[in-house]
Amino acid sequence: MKKDNDLVCYCFGYSAEDIRADFIKKGKSLIMEKIINEKQLGRCDCANKNPKGR
């Protein structure tokens, strides 16, 4: 069972609670956009940091 503090992004350390707080603060969450931009810049290391390798 997932908890709000479980990581949903191992590369950048975002949890479900981070996304929820971002949404409450801004009316929408921009975290996914941040992750996509970082991945495009080659700053993603999911293969090594995510236990599922993705």
pLDDT tens digits for range 23-39? 999 999 999 899 999 99
Domain boundaries, the chain: 7-49
pLDDT band at 47 (very low <50, low <70, confident <90, very high): confident
The whole-number pLDDT of residue 8 equals 87
- Residue environment code for 9-40, b if the CB has 16+ CB neighbours within 10 A, otherwise e: bbbbebbeebbeebeeeeeebebeeebeeeee
